[in-house]
């Protein structure tokens, strides 16, 4: 039963507010272990094909992507095969977004054929590149696609496709990172070679899940929790070096998503991901110098982001009050996704950013948690030269003419926006003012970590009697005394005392450390009336 996990009475109540009502629900949400790797289609045949290539001493080429997930997934496969198994007839190639572009483009095909592999493993890419893979297969090159992006209507003619969303996949966990998928392939290979070295890569898997904004539920949750625990004790040496340089000692999601992740992503956004790959591949004596390179490139990336967020926010078009489009001339395409993310925060709507730098325009989309951006864009696929992504993010290439036609279509036609909605909002847990305090906060802490797909719990407090309401000395914020330990706060807003009771406050309970003293703040984001 659920009460055996925690004796705190609010634990079950909080879970129920997320729709987790039975032991089976909880096992799906927070599994005690990973499913067998074979639950992801078609890991068994992929490992057999790799084993065959190794036995025949065939050349293996791993072809990845230029973002953190693409780098990490390619690296763990390469490092496992070359260093753990000891197979040396293997190469790795990470493309430049500016030279080869994303995925298996014609330029990528040239690079691959020049390497003359017998077996090509595409990682974090490949699933939407039917024609290129068909050309590769006709050259008698075997192909394994290891990917996690949304499936196209027509799957590529690879020998093997390893993908959690494949119709024959048995896993209930469809949304995960490419590195996580590659990690299951490693587990299978480790069994075949009787090697128990896969946990060395665990925190790299967790890093990929956070940087690729995957839901923190199911097996993703299991892997992230294991990652955070490993980083407290035995972090991957390359992650430990960045932690030391950044002076950040807490092992939490902020470390992965805001300290390490941006440094891994920066080189690929500005030039080529080779600096990040070299950082992972080089021995420990060069770690500190190479980490400084990543830090410097991340600083440059930050400066560019600040500059272009301002420009992009001044060049927006809101379509049917549902979606934001920003077309920015001379925008470095490597930061288009970051600009889109910032605009989502600003406008609280899905955003399409287009970097207008020539005849063909590249861009990135980012979405709110409640809107499936790739499903929406798939209905418009004919406008795009290239398109790929997952529910929260997408990338694309489009011609200038097609972009104009796309905007014209969106402005003039009725779109069934509700078809692309993702149900994310959970009902806030209803509590009384007296219930705000140690016991409730302890239950909130037990359920960490929070993030995409499992947001920090919202509470609804019904206030039935008048309470002290006061303001800060600058008359900027409103404070409401809810009990002896907890005060509510409405940031950047002054509200008058309610004219009638009861009224409701909805928000989040946070712990506050001020002048060495611990207390609680109830951060209000919604005010209502009555007992609703």
Estimate to the nearest angstrom the gap between the alpha carbon of 204 and the chain centroid. 13
Contacts of 518 by beta carbon, 8 Å cutoff, 6+ apart: 511, 512
Q: What is the sign of the dihedral through the CA atoms of 295, 301, 304 and 305? A: negative
pLDDT at 532: 46
Q: Beta strands of 76-214 (E only): which ranges?
A: 90-93, 119-123, 142-146, 160-162
Comparing CA positions, the residue from 6, 19, 7, 3 lying closest to residue 429 is: 19
Whether 399 and 357 have beta carbons less than 8 Å apart is answered as: no
Residue whose C-alpha is closest to residue 523's, from 471, 472, 479: 479
Domains of the chain (ranges, CATH numbers): 20-30+39-291 (3.90.1640.30), 315-420 (3.10.310.30), 429-529 (2.40.50.460)
Structure tokens at 245: 């340089």
Contacts made by residues 468-475, CB under 8 angstroms, sequence distance 24+: 469/495, 469/497
Closest CA relative to residue 202, chosen from 172, 182, 174: 182
- DSSP-derived secondary structure letter, 452: T
Cα separation, 130 vs 158, whole angstroms: 9
As a whole number of angstroms, the distance between CA 275 and CA 485 comes to: 50
Long-range contacts of 373-376 (CB under 8 A, 24+ apart): 373/420, 374/149, 374/150, 375/150, 375/419, 375/420, 376/323, 376/350, 376/420
pLDDT for res 101: 85
Query: 137 and 157 in contact (C-beta within 8 Å)?
Result: yes
Residue 369 backbone dihedrals phi, psi, to 5 degrees: -65, -20
The closest of 242, 240, 337 to 296, measured between CA atoms, is 242
Give the long-range contacts of residues 220-223, CB within 8 A, separation 24 or more: 220/173, 220/175, 220/176, 220/177, 220/180, 221/29, 221/30, 221/31, 221/449, 221/454, 222/30, 222/31, 222/32, 222/33, 222/34, 223/34, 223/180, 223/183
Q: Which two tokens stand for residue 313?
A: 């926010």
Q: Which residues, including other chains, have CB under 8 Å from residue 478's CB and lie 6 or more apart?
A: 469, 470, 471, 489, 490, 493, 494, 495
DSSP sequence for 278-317: HHHHS-GGGHHHHHHHHHHHHHHHHHHHHHHHHHHHTSEE
For 520, the token pair is 């609680």
Cα 36 to Cα 49, 133, 138: the distances in Å are 19, 28, 33
Q: What is the DSSP string of 402-442?
A: HHHHHHHHHHHS---GGGGB---PPPPEEE-GGG-SHHHHH
**Three-state secondary-structure class, residue 75:** helix
Task: Determine phi and psi for 517, rounding to 5 degrees.
Answer: -115, 135
pTM: 0.90
Distances (CA, A) of 87 to 81, 97, 467: 6, 29, 71
* Separation of alpha carbons 164 and 454, rounded Å: 20
Which helix (H) or strand (E) element contains residue 257?
none
532 residues of the chain, pLDDT tens digit each: 455 567 888 999 999 999 998 999 999 999 999 999 999 999 999 999 999 999 999 999 999 999 999 999 999 999 999 999 999 999 999 999 888 888 999 999 999 999 999 999 999 999 999 999 999 999 999 999 999 998 999 999 999 999 999 999 999 999 999 999 999 999 999 999 998 889 999 999 999 999 999 999 999 999 999 999 999 999 999 999 999 999 999 999 999 999 999 999 999 999 999 999 999 999 878 899 999 999 999 999 999 999 999 999 999 999 999 999 999 999 998 999 999 999 999 999 999 999 988 778 999 999 998 899 999 999 999 999 989 888 889 999 999 999 999 999 999 999 999 999 987 657 899 999 999 999 999 999 999 999 988 999 999 999 887 678 888 888 889 999 999 889 999 998 888 877 777 889 999 999 987 766 778 999 998 888 765 4
pLDDT of residue 468: 85
Q: Can you give the pLDDT at residue 530?
A: 60
């Amino acid at each position: 039963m659920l009460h055996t996990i925690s004796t705190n009475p609010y634990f079950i109540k909080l879970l129920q507010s997320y729709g987790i009502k039975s032991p089976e629900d909880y096992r799906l949400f927070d599994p005690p272990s990973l499913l067998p790797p074979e639950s992801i289609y078609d890991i068994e045949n992929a490992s057999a094909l790799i084993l065959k290539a190794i036995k025949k001493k065939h050349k293996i080429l791993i072809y990845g992507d230029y973002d953190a997930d693409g780098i990490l997934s390619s690296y763990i496969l390469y490092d496992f095969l070359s260093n753990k198994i000891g197979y040396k007839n293997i190469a790795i190639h990470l493309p430049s977004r500016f030279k080869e572009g994303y995925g298996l483009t014609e330029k990528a095909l040239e690079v691959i054929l020049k390497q003359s592999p017998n077996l090509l493993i595409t990682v974090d890419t490949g699933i939407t590149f039917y024609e290129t893979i068909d050309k590769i297969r006709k050259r008698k090159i075997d192909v394994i696609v290891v990917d996690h992006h949304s499936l196209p209507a027509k799957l590529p003619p690879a020998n093997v496709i390893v993908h959690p969303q494949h119709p024959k996949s048995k896993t209930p966990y469809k949304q995960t990172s490419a590195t996580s998928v590659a990690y299951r392939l490693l587990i299978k290979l480790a069994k075949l070679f009787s090697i128990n070295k896969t946990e060395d890569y665990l925190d790299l898997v967790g890093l990929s899940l956070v940087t690729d904004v995957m839901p923190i539920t199911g097996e993703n949750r299991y892997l992230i929790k294991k990652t955070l625990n490993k980083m407290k004790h035995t972090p991957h040496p390359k992650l430990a070096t960045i932690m030391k340089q950044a002076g950040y000692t807490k092992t939490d999601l902020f470390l992965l998503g805001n300290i390490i992740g941006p440094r891994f992503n920066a080189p690929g956004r500005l030039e080529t991901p080779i600096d990040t790959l070299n950082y992972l591949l080089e021995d420990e004596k060069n770690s500190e110098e190479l980490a400084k390179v990543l830090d410097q490139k991340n600083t440059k990336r930050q400066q560019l982001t600040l500059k272009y967020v301002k420009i992009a926010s001044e060049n927006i078009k809101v379509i049917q009050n549902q979606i934001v489009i920003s077309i920015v001339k001379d925008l470095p395409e490597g930061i288009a996704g970051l600009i889109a993310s910032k605009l989502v925060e600003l406008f609280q709507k899905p955003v399409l950013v287009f970097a207008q730098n020539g005849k063909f325009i590249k861009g990135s989309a980012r979405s709110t948690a409640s809107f499936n951006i790739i499903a929406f864009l798939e209905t418009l696929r004919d406008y795009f030269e290239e398109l790929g992504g997952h529910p929260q993010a997408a990338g694309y290439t489009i011609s200038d003419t097609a972009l104009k036609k796309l905007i014209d279509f969106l402005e003039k036609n009725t779109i069934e926006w509700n078809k692309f909605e993702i149900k994310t909002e959970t009902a806030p847990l209803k509590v009384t003012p007296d219930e705000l305090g140690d016991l409730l906060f302890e239950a909130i802490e037990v359920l960490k970590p929070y993030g995409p797909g499992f947001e920090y719990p919202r509470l609804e407090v019904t206030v039935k009697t008048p309470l002290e309401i006061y303001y800060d000395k600058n008359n900027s914020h409103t404070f409401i005394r809810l009990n002896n330990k907890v005060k509510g706060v409405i940031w950047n807003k002054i509200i008058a005392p309610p004219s009638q009771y009861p009224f409701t406050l909805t928000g989040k309970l946070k712990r506050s450390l001020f002048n060495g003293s611990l207390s609680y703040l109830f951060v209000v984001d919604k005010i209502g009336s009555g007992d609703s």
